């Protein structure tokens, strides 16, 4: 089955800094990865995804990097803003049930101070 590891439970940054949130996965056959953002009191919200045929994908102020060699995924947020404060989860396609479900990491709480 798949397992998704957390590198850091909490990350504190200053407004304007770049933030990097990391994630590791166990199954080298995994081929789809998603980052979610969860604000306090809300459900997770999709940020960006990447397929295994890519190493990098960019969105608005966010970049996801995929290193398949070491099974590592990262989310980079440029010019971090107070509104970016939330818990960030990576999710990997390929659950333990035998179907193609998502396995989630434990999340990193990003704290942005002004």
Partner 1 sequence: DVKVTQSSRYLVKRTGEKVFLECVQDMDHENMFWYRQDPGLGLRLIYFSYDVKMKEKGDIPEGYSVSREKKERFSLILESASTNQTSMYLCASSSVAGGLYNEQFFGPGTRLTVL
By the rule CB under 8 A, 96 interacts with partner 1: yes
Residues 94/46, Cβ–Cβ less than 8 Å: no
Element (H, E) at 58: strand 56-58
- What's CA 65's distance to the chain center, in Å? 10
Binding segment toward partner 1, per CB under 8 A, in 42-50, 54-62, 66-74, 78-86: 42-50
By the rule CB under 8 A, 68 interacts with partner 1: no
Q: Residues in the site for partner 1, rule: CB under 8 A? A: 4, 6, 9, 32, 34, 36, 41-46, 49, 51, 89, 93, 95-97, 99-107
């Amino acid at each position: 089955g798949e397992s998704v590891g957390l590198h850091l439970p909490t990350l504190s940054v200053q407004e304007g800094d770049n933030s990097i949130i990391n994630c590791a996965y166990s199954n080298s056959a995994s081929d789809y990865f998603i980052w979610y953002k969860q604000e306090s009191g809300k459900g997770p919200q999709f940020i960006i995804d990447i397929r295994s045929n890519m190493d990098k994908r960019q969105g608005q102020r966010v970049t996801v990097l995929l290193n398949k060699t070491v099974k590592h995924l990262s989310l980079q947020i440029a010019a971090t803003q107070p509104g970016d404060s939330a818990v960030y989860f990576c999710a990997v396609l390929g659950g333990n049930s035998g179907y193609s479900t998502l396995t989630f990491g434990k999340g990193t709480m990003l704290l942005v101070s002004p």
